[in-house]
A and B are shown apart, each in its own frame.
Chain A
């Protein structure tokens, strides 16, 4: 599998570290029901056959965390975005 890093270019799978589902958003720890929300956030995962948005780090390259859209059936790599840009755009973060 080869993943196009937006900064470095296309690199082999062995340069990347996988984390998992990129659609999960860290819950607000101060909100009511935070414990249940965190439980779901930490433990519950879908296992889709098809497109999956997932977090990878270009660990042997620029250290960027990436949001990679991958087809779990074919390993075809679709869109690759810089995770920090995605996160900043959706206004996440604990501030």
Chain B
């Protein structure tokens, strides 16, 4: 397992520890400190993937998160992750990676014939080539394209690893751990301010560890080490390595992802794979550095063509020679550094091509390296297929010649990494002196320093970082503790890329966006066809899309469009970016709470008992409610539900009503307040009484219903529907605080305080009598229908007893403090046993409320008024209430509106369906003939047939009429008889028994 391209010495790798890994099934060896990319290059592997559209062979272009080419599938099985940048993936023992987007193998890819078909795949091919016939799109074109063009494969199994979200607060957030960021963190941290330093790399230092530089008389990498050690000892400083700050949000909030375990084969027990950080920072220092950019020349995507800065990173940080015979091609002074580093590493320098005129800095470097020096020339073309074998160089006079090489180090200049400055709408500014975009507006509280601000010199980056860090801490009230940056070995390096942006390609494709296979020709085509704005260019050619979002491509694409259209770059436009800066796993955004723990689960007090009974549960909002309690021998829910309903109607049943929202209302003006929010009047209701209440929205539509009980002169107890408990509470607080601020009224949610059981049926009084302590009168005289009393049960437990019925039977609601809820359901069952009691669930409750015509969520559906519900008579004429004025407007008061009525199938054996629409008999099934819809249906044991509730135009005037209930979705078409919306005990005798 030799590493032929590993240099004999140097680099920040642990050469004492070999790490075995596989790529496309072959085993290689690297070291701790390697990325997958550096380890592959050390092993002489330059062909890493195939391109998106043309399946062109691709290698490693960069040494960072901007990598567009070297995307691999990492890991296998459920942990397989596509589109991982080999330049970021940290090597670990046993790492398994494979190339993607190739068939059948990386070296022999059949679909590389796409290149021959490239006229088909030019920009806009989606829009043009497959326009007609459209019916072939789904069956032919799309599958073909998806097979041919694409990136990696997602894992097909659920992600087995945990994720975590956390929040951190700090005075100063420093984004980027290069020279400027380290200086900022030290300067801020020494004041005692709370500082977070985040860097996406696993090692701090940025370019300090990628270059051979000196700081304060020692190697820059050593200085970075010492800086990190000091930061680790400052108690209020947190250093987050492997952490990408992805977005800037309002109010000084930043999102970041820490790759906690991505550098391990799998996470340690209980450790997350990744951790999402929500960072709240008073000040931020953006020290994100700069990204090198390409020059467009023929074959510039050939493996072995690499950014010059990346070449230096592989040489210096990883001790890897990405090639042995190099051509350096640049339009800035970075070329000198590249030449010197390659020479120092023992690589042969074939030629140095500087696109500019004469450059003194380069003379010395080239002479030392013995390289052919070409000023004012260009690399016109790189060739070699799967790895570069040579390139064609054009000199200043237009003469051209070929040289053999296995590495072309290219630098088209540097773009400040300004993405985070634009997330809140800051508009970058083009600076001619940098030939790049620099930050324009920044998010409030953010300072940009170093290369990200266009200050490319090491000394100026350190100074600006130190100053910004100190100022940010001062702004937060911290002072003292100083940091004087070390002296840097600054040369007068000229790093702006002054063009050319491209070389007229004689042969071969010149790529602008490597990941999307967008070439110079595509940009030209877009310009010819009128897609000249940068936004149109992006949509038409896909330039700047996909996982790298054009980090290396956008400025080049823009410059080319400017050149083609004869405009300046700023006049051509700019591409703003949105979060995230780099792709983020959905798992990290989801965090720890997923699947069953996505939301809280609320368990009513009888839950454990109900589980013991074998209840089947149904989710209602956050609640788990018992839907029905099957018994041995019962075969389906309907059979069980019918038995439960019949038991309640003939004997007695018990239901856990604890999930209803409960609100304690107190204060001298409690009654007046309730009069404002309900359509009916509660201020005059006697103490010890309860009544049904309906509240409206201000637009006149019904909002929620429930019961209101008066416990004392200034004390009421209100229930809401289970689903609307929280929104009703919010509405009531709105009314209390904003609409009626002078009222003395106080609201307290007591939903969870009370366990409440509905005991319903002809024998319910017997059950209550058995539970009530001595001396409590449960007779009709002692507690009449709609009465409320406090009492004690079971030997001293305080309780509230309400004579209320939702089922239509004589019924009581018995409430005790929730801690006794479990014991009380067991006591009720024991007390009811002699009377044949059974528990009933939400299904039986629903059947019985439909049989009684009580409205529920399906009827209070956000479209219905009190009058629609048949409750118009409840509205007090003597007072105003929320929604009263608008409920009386023309449209809502229209007597032709659909009104709540009941329905039975004419053929009593037929089943009804909720959602069916009513049309007159003999009329066509059209929207014009639509007269309303069915809201709730149930099989009624009492009626021996299905019954339904629904809204029918002028329904109350049409009792006895027959209409069609049409359900086109399920092919339902049933003739139904319009009946009064009460199917059991229409006189209401039973509840008063």
Binding site for B on A (CB under 8 A): 1-2, 12-13, 17, 19, 26-27, 29-30, 34-35, 38-39, 41-43, 55, 57, 59, 63-65, 74-77, 83-85, 87-88, 92-95
Q: Are B741 and A87 in contact (CB under 8 A)?
A: yes
- Sample of 19 more A-B contacts, CB < 8 Å, known A87-B738, A94-B740: A1-B250, A2-B253, A12-B253, A13-B250, A27-B885, A30-B880, A35-B888, A39-B889, A57-B734, A59-B730, A64-B737, A65-B737, A74-B425, A83-B737, A92-B741, A93-B740, A93-B741, A94-B676, A95-B740
Q: Are A2 and B739 in contact (CB under 8 A)?
A: no
Bound form: Cα–Cα A92–B424 in Å: 38
Cβ contacts under 8 Å, B885 to chain A: 27, 29, 34-35, 38
Cβ contacts under 8 Å, A38 to chain B: 698, 885-886
Closest CB pairs A-B (n = 10): A2-B251, A1-B250, A87-B741, A29-B880, A84-B737, A88-B741, A75-B250, A65-B737, A38-B885, A84-B741
Bound form: Cα–Cα A59–B728 in Å: 12
Considering the complex, give the chain B residue whose CB is closest to the CB of A14: B278
Cβ contacts under 8 Å, B889 to chain A: 35, 39
Q: Mask for B879-922, Cβ within 8 A of A = 1, else 0?
A: 01000111011000000000000000000000000000000000
Bound form: Cα–Cα A92–B699 in Å: 20
Which of A30, A57, A94, A95 contacts B733 (CB under 8 A)? A57
B869 within 8 A of partner (CB): no
Q: Are B742 and A42 in contact (CB under 8 A)?
A: no
Bound form: Cα–Cα A35–B250 in Å: 40
Q: Mask for B163-185, Cβ within 8 A of A = 1, else 0?
A: 00000000000000000000000
Bound form: Cα–Cα A75–B250 in Å: 7
B267 within 8 A of partner (CB): no
Cβ contacts under 8 Å, B278 to chain A: 12
Which of B424, B425, B444, B884 contacts A29 (CB under 8 A)? B884
In chain B, positions 698-754 with a C-beta closer than 8 Å to chain A are 698-699, 730, 733-734, 737-743
Give chain A nearest CB distance to B880 CB in angstroms: 4
Q: Are A19 and B886 in contact (CB under 8 A)?
A: no
Cβ contacts under 8 Å, A57 to chain B: 730, 733-734
Cβ contacts under 8 Å, A30 to chain B: 880
Bound form: Cα–Cα A45–B606 in Å: 47
Bound form: Cα–Cα A26–B735 in Å: 11
Q: Mask for B251-295, Cβ within 8 A of A = 1, else 0?
A: 111000000000000000000000000101000000000000000
Q: Which of A26, A59, A64, A85 has the most CB of B within 10 A?
A: A26
Cβ contacts under 8 Å, A12 to chain B: 251, 253, 278, 280
Tell me if A's interface is mostly helix, strand, loop or mixed. Answer: mixed
Binding site for A on B (CB under 8 A): 249-253, 278, 280, 424-425, 444, 676, 698-699, 730, 733-734, 737-743, 880, 884-886, 888-889
Give chain A nearest CB distance to B146 CB in angstroms: 38
Q: Are A42 and B251 in contact (CB under 8 A)?
A: no
Cβ contacts under 8 Å, A64 to chain B: 737
Contact sample, A vs B, 18 pairs, CB 8 Å cutoff: A2-B253, A12-B278, A19-B734, A26-B698, A29-B880, A35-B885, A35-B889, A39-B889, A41-B698, A55-B738, A74-B425, A75-B250, A84-B737, A84-B738, A84-B741, A93-B739, A93-B741, A93-B743
Q: Are B737 and A35 in contact (CB under 8 A)?
A: no
Give chain A nearest CB distance to B63 CB in angstroms: 37
Bound form: Cα–Cα A54–B444 in Å: 22
Considering the complex, give the chain B residue whose CB is closest to the CB of A75: B250
Q: Are A42 and B699 in contact (CB under 8 A)?
A: yes
Bound form: Cα–Cα A87–B739 in Å: 7
Bound form: Cα–Cα A64–B737 in Å: 8
Cβ contacts under 8 Å, A55 to chain B: 734, 738
Given the known interface contacts A30-B880, A42-B698, the answer about A94 and B251 at a Cβ–Cβ threshold of 8 Å is no
Considering the complex, give the chain B residue whose CB is closest to the CB of A3: B251
Bound form: Cα–Cα A66–B280 in Å: 22
Considering the complex, give the chain B residue whose CB is closest to the CB of A77: B251
Cβ contacts under 8 Å, A88 to chain B: 741-742
Cβ contacts under 8 Å, B888 to chain A: 35
Bound form: Cα–Cα A60–B239 in Å: 31
Given the known interface contacts A1-B250, A30-B880, the answer about A93 and B742 at a Cβ–Cβ threshold of 8 Å is yes
Q: Are A26 and B886 in contact (CB under 8 A)?
A: no
Considering the complex, give the chain A residue whose CB is closest to the CB of B425: A74
Cβ contacts under 8 Å, A41 to chain B: 698
Cβ contacts under 8 Å, A74 to chain B: 424-425
Give chain B nearest CB distance to A70 CB in angstroms: 10
Q: Which of B738, B739, B889 has the most CB of A within 10 A?
A: B738
Considering the complex, give the chain B residue whose CB is closest to the CB of A90: B741
Bound form: Cα–Cα A39–B699 in Å: 8
Cβ contacts under 8 Å, A59 to chain B: 730
Give chain B nearest CB distance to A63 CB in angstroms: 5
Bound form: Cα–Cα A19–B886 in Å: 19
Cβ contacts under 8 Å, A19 to chain B: 734
Cβ contacts under 8 Å, A42 to chain B: 698-699, 886
Bound form: Cα–Cα A25–B743 in Å: 17
Bound form: Cα–Cα A64–B747 in Å: 12
Cβ contacts under 8 Å, B444 to chain A: 76
Give chain A nearest CB distance to B279 CB in angstroms: 12
Cβ contacts under 8 Å, B249 to chain A: 1
Cβ contacts under 8 Å, A2 to chain B: 250-253, 280
Bound form: Cα–Cα A63–B743 in Å: 17
Considering the complex, give the chain B residue whose CB is closest to the CB of A63: B733
Bound form: Cα–Cα A55–B737 in Å: 11
Give chain A nearest CB distance to B608 CB in angstroms: 29
Q: Are B737 and A87 in contact (CB under 8 A)?
A: yes
Q: Are A65 and B738 in contact (CB under 8 A)?
A: yes
Cβ contacts under 8 Å, B730 to chain A: 17, 57, 59
Give chain A nearest CB distance to B884 CB in angstroms: 7
Cβ contacts under 8 Å, B740 to chain A: 93-95
Give chain B nearest CB distance to A80 CB in angstroms: 13
Give chain B nearest CB distance to A33 CB in angstroms: 11
Cβ contacts under 8 Å, B739 to chain A: 26, 87, 92-94
Bound form: Cα–Cα A38–B734 in Å: 17
Give chain B nearest CB distance to A22 CB in angstroms: 8
Q: Which of B249, B698, B737 has the most CB of A within 10 A?
A: B737
Bound form: Cα–Cα A10–B252 in Å: 12
Bound form: Cα–Cα A74–B442 in Å: 12
Bound form: Cα–Cα A42–B889 in Å: 13
Bound form: Cα–Cα A42–B699 in Å: 7
Bound form: Cα–Cα A62–B885 in Å: 32
Cβ contacts under 8 Å, B251 to chain A: 1-2, 12-13, 75, 77
Give chain A nearest CB distance to B878 CB in angstroms: 12
Cβ contacts under 8 Å, A27 to chain B: 885
Cβ contacts under 8 Å, A77 to chain B: 251
Considering the complex, give the chain B residue whose CB is closest to the CB of A67: B738
Give chain B nearest CB distance to A29 CB in angstroms: 4
Considering the complex, give the chain A residue whose CB is closest to the CB of B884: A29
Bound form: Cα–Cα A93–B278 in Å: 41
Give chain A nearest CB distance to B958 CB in angstroms: 29
Bound form: Cα–Cα A89–B734 in Å: 16
Cβ contacts under 8 Å, B880 to chain A: 29-30, 94
Bound form: Cα–Cα A57–B149 in Å: 49
Give chain B nearest CB distance to A27 CB in angstroms: 8
Q: Are B733 and A65 in contact (CB under 8 A)?
A: yes
Considering the complex, give the chain B residue whose CB is closest to the CB of A27: B885
Cβ contacts under 8 Å, B252 to chain A: 2
Bound form: Cα–Cα A38–B882 in Å: 11
Bound form: Cα–Cα A26–B278 in Å: 39
Considering the complex, give the chain B residue whose CB is closest to the CB of A85: B741
Cβ contacts under 8 Å, B884 to chain A: 29
Bound form: Cα–Cα A29–B885 in Å: 7
Which of A1, A13, A43, A83 contacts B738 (CB under 8 A)? A83
Considering the complex, give the chain A residue whose CB is closest to the CB of B747: A63
Bound form: Cα–Cα A39–B889 in Å: 9
Give chain B nearest CB distance to A81 CB in angstroms: 12
Give chain B nearest CB distance to A84 CB in angstroms: 4
Bound form: Cα–Cα A95–B673 in Å: 11
